[in-house]
Amino acid sequence: MLNDVTFGQYYPAKSFVHAMDPRTKLLALIAFIVAIFIADTFYGMILCAVVLMATVIAARVPFGSVLRSVKGILFILILTSVLNLFFHGGEHPLTPPDSPITIYREAVVYTVFLLLRLFLLVMASAVLTLTTTPVRLTDGIESLLTPLKWIRFPVHELALIMSIALRFIPTLIDETNRIIAAQKARGADFESGNIFKRIKAVVPILIPLLISAFRRAEELGDAMDARCYSGSKNRTKYKKLRFGWRDLVGAIIFAALIAGVVLFNIYAAQIWPEIYEYIIIT
Amino acid sequence: MEENLKDAAIAVPQPAPAVGGENAAGVDKDDSAVVFDGVTFSYNDQPSPALNGITFSVKKGEFLAVIGHNGSGKSTLARLINGLLLPDKGKVTVFGLDTSEGKNPIEIRKRAGIVFQNPDNQMVASIIEDDVAFGPENIGVEREEIGRRIDWALGAVGMSAYRTGTPSRLSGGQKQRIAIAGVLAIKPDILILDESTAMLDPRGRREVMGVVSRLNREEGLTVILITHFMEEALLADRTIVLNRGEIVMQGTPAEIFLHSERLEAYNLSLPRIGRICKALQGAGIDVADCLTPEILAEEIKEAADCRGIEKREVHSVPPQRAESAHEWDIDVKNLTFTYSAKSPFASKALRGIDLHIDEGEFFGIIGHTGSGKSTLVQHLNALIKLPQAEKRYRAKKPKKGQPAPVLPQITVGPFNLADKKCNFVKLRESVGMVFQYPEYQLFAETVFADVAFGLKNFRKGISAEETEAAVRAAVEMVGLDYEEVKDKSPFDLSGGQKRRVAIAGVIVTRPHILILDEPAAGLDPLGKQEIMELLHKLHREWCSTVIVVSHDMDEIADNCTMAAVISEGAVADCALPRELFKKAEELTSLGLDIPLTAKACARLKELGIEIDTDFTCEDFAGKVISLFNGGDNA
């Protein structure tokens, strides 16, 4: 069942993107999402796709693993595109006037746009998680949230909770596997029967797991106390994230991407006027 | 190197206070690190106090061991020292600071660090250096200084190479060394180990104890070691014995362990070598009290020389082994297994295991953590199925010119585990499996319901009377009072009772073969002994074959009729214990321990006396006695 000892989808490699600061990558992802949502011409979309391809190549992760990330939302993609295709209105019907369903040109353009957006969005997030360990990601989020301390948002506590959660995921997966094996050895059957039977079958796993999690939490609390933990007051931080030259390069590229998308939005009509109406969404 | 430490600790004669219940009064206050003055502490939900009128003190730089059975109050003691608990009566002072005063606990925790039992439950970060940094960060140490402290602390525990790694892939001993580094980075003056080695294998235990002794000697760290491993207490300068919340003995380890009768009264056992000493002395052989196998061997040699014993070899005829029915033999051929195959994290657990286990054996499987022994036994009841038994399996056509790959084969009695049509449910009913810390799998509201769980799964539609009879038999088999416990919640039982209930939940279906993974892990010496006695009773009366997976060599030597050594996913050796443990060097080269009796034999052989024994304490003592008696007759 849970036989994968690793979690998350970090792909270990030495690359330009792996070595970037997690904050840069998080901000770049945000910039990228902004770019694909403000782009309303295919020129801009293609520019986004090109930048993403370049990032994947620079990250040295297999292209397949990036594509695979789309698998999870495939159903949603198909559903939304079908709905959009049939129900998006427009002025230029493509189907003959007497057919029961009318599909408009605008709907097709819009659906393709939507698909591209979602594809690029998911793939870009995958590049982030493939090249950044969960720990670095947490560090990055903590650092980016630091300004919120001004409004008394518990940034340090949140970061510690995330860090402890990450730390205990593999431990609890191991534990779950052990409990499953132990109950299977006592004849428990988790794989057959109707949904109610299956839910009932989970009880012998869930209860020992909960009890163990509480026991661990209690022991961890004692261990943290014993190591002088007393909240965020007067606390120093050992790990400091540092921006490097790669982060500068990344920042320039993604700033340029947004600028490029905006320029395309403004000047698209003048580039190739004949096809203009086919490449914008309305 | 760590091996020598034990000897060194014993060899140095130490002036020490007399053994007895007296408190160590009159210690110079300025010289003490920790002082307990009439301390009493009770937990809210318990009628009798966990600690009752405890008075003692620990000097700076001292190495103190605190021993006691489970529930004697040892762990409460540790928590009182650094203010995690506060005394009901009396006073605990650490370097002159009273733990119950205002902000003292934080100051005290900077100076007295605790390492707990479970290494997994004391790490906060997924990267080792971040975890070590946690303590210094909490007390506001400057960034550059934290870096230096991480360097130093990881160096002190010999883990510098793992600085940027993750703890989840380390062995128990390595994790516990990281936990020690995490405490050291706060730069404490006192290091408290609260049963920190209880969950480790012998190698891990040696690693941790080596680090601790060195810190005590070289860094002058005061060490308070709480343990129920008598062998570890031998490393200390002074030992305190706790029984039911009271100090009942204190003195040097050597002094303590000479009072075997008293120790047994406190549910503690004498170290094995001490037991042999007593047996020899009882037979009139003039050996001095000693606690290590090497010194015992020398004592025996000396005594033999005194008596002018000529005959230097004692041979014995191995006892006839009962012919078994071979109906429930286990046969494993060419077993290989890889975890997370086809991922970048694939790890080979088994590399071609061939093993045959006859019906009727009390079989030991030895190997340290990560050797693949647990993976192996999980194949025996198809918790891990052979690839060709999986529903989706399709035989691959061999490539031209290459022989077809050899598939692993396992048969257990009448079951062929390579067969898709094998009745795996029936198999699991016949091959009972008790996992490590089985009490962690208890879940039901009552002991009755928990024990009956397996029975109801395997025998659908079993009648209420039959269930009741089977559950009663199983609960009584494990030595519990059925009427008393059946309606109790399993979570209200003591640790040892929980483990018994968990074992009852497996044997309730009367399996032919019973497999137990580290059945005695985490128990105190008496608990261990009781569990092993239970297994022998099961072997005699209920299960024809018992298979025990263990890393405790003495346990294997004392109990098993046959043993296999697993190393790096292959069978390194499989033989009678008496044959196996003769190969001391081979076992040590695999990073495994050998039984203490085997160590004594090896040393005796160097001294020119050969003893042919099956390496149980009783047999070893018996053979030495017969050597002397034979010598007398000659």
- Of B599, B519, B45, the closest CA to residue B271 belongs to B599
User: What per-residue confidence (pLDDT) applies to A274?
Assistant: 81
Tell me, what's the pLDDT at B321? 63
CB A3 within 8 A of CB B383: no
Residue A266 is classified by DSSP as H
Q: Which tokens in the block code for residue B43?
A: 């937990």
B339 contacts on A by Cβ (under 8 Å)? 3, 5
Q: Is B168 on the interface with A (CB under 8 A)?
A: yes
pLDDT tens digits along B469-510 = 999 999 999 999 999 999 999 988 888 889 999 999 999 999
The list of chain A residues with pLDDT below 70 reads 1-8
| pLDDT for residue B1 | 41
Which DSSP letter does residue B387 get? Answer: G
Q: When comparing pLDDT for B536 and B583, which is higher? A: B536
Mean pLDDT comparison of A100-104, B321-325, B338-342, B441-445, highest-scoring range: B441-445
Q: Against a cut of 0.90, is the pTM above it?
A: no
Report chain A residues whose CB lies below 8 A from the CB of B432: 185
**Chain B residues with CB-CB distance to A160 below 8 A:** 124
pLDDT (0 to 100) of residue B145: 94
Give contacts of B 444-473 with A, CB under 8 A: 444, 453-454, 457-458
Q: What is the pLDDT of residue B468?
A: 93
pLDDT higher than 90, residue B226: yes
pLDDT score, position A4: 35
Instruction: Give the right CATH number for B3-268 from 3.40.50.300, 3.40.50.2020, 3.90.190.20, 3.30.450.20.
Output: 3.40.50.300
**Measured between CB atoms, which of A5, A166, A215 is closest to B345?**
A5
**Structure confidence by residue, pLDDT tens digits, B354-383:** 999 988 889 999 887 778 888 899 999 888
A239: which 2 tokens? 């790990």
Structure tokens at A85: 């295709």
Q: Are A104 and A281 in contact (CB under 8 A)?
A: no
Instruction: Indicate if B330-392+404-575 has the same CATH topology as B3-268.
Output: yes
Taking Cα atoms as reference points, which of B194, B198, B250 lies closest to residue B223?
B194
Lowest mean pLDDT, pick from A98-112, B8-22, B427-441, B521-535:
B8-22
According to CATH, the topology of domain B330-392+404-575 is: Rossmann fold (3.40.50)
B323 touches chain A (CB under 8 A): no
CA distance B65 to chain A (A): 20
Q: So what's the pLDDT on residue B22? A: 40
Query: What are the distances in angstroms from CA A225 to CA A270, B100, B183, B186, B517?
Result: 67, 15, 12, 13, 33
pLDDT of residue B125 exceeding 60, the answer is yes
Residue appearing with tokens 């400057």: B142
| Position B242 pLDDT exceeds 80 | yes
The Cα B222–Cα A240 span in angstroms is 34
- pLDDT for the residue B3: 42
Q: State the pLDDT at residue A188.
A: 87
**In chain B, what are the domain boundaries?**
3-268, 273-318+596-629, 330-392+404-575
Q: What is the DSSP letter of A221?
A: H
Residue B370 falls in which region: left (phi positive, over 0), alpha (psi -120 to 50) or beta: left
At residue B309, does pLDDT exceed 80? no
Q: Are A34 and A48 in contact (CB under 8 A)?
A: no
| Range scoring the smallest mean pLDDT among A3-7, A209-213, B344-348, B515-519 | A3-7
Give the pLDDT band of residue B28 (cuts 50, 70, 90): very low
| Token pair belonging to B375 | 């993976």
Tokens of B241: 């014995």
Strand-pair partners of B446: none
Write the pLDDT tens digit of every residue in B552-602.
888 888 888 899 998 888 888 888 888 888 887 888 887 777 888 888 888
CB contact under 8 A, A223 and B116: yes
pLDDT range class, residue B49, cuts 50, 70, 90: confident
Distance between CA atoms of residues B554 and B563, nearest Å: 12
CB contacts < 8 A, A to B, total: 158
Residue B25 predicted with pLDDT over 60: no
Given a cut of 90, whether residue B190 has pLDDT beyond it is yes
Calculate the dihedral angle through the C-alpha atoms of B218, B220, B222, B223, rounding to the nearest 10 degrees. Answer: 0
Would you call A230 an interface residue with chain B, using a CB distance cutoff of 8 Å?
Answer: yes
pLDDT for residue B617: 82
pLDDT of residue B496: 85
The two beta strands, B545-550 and B513-517, are parallel
Asked if the interface predicted TM-score (ipTM) of this complex is over 0.95, the answer is no
- Model confidence at B138, pLDDT cuts 50, 70, 90, reads very high
State which H helix or E strand residue B226 sits in. strand B222-227
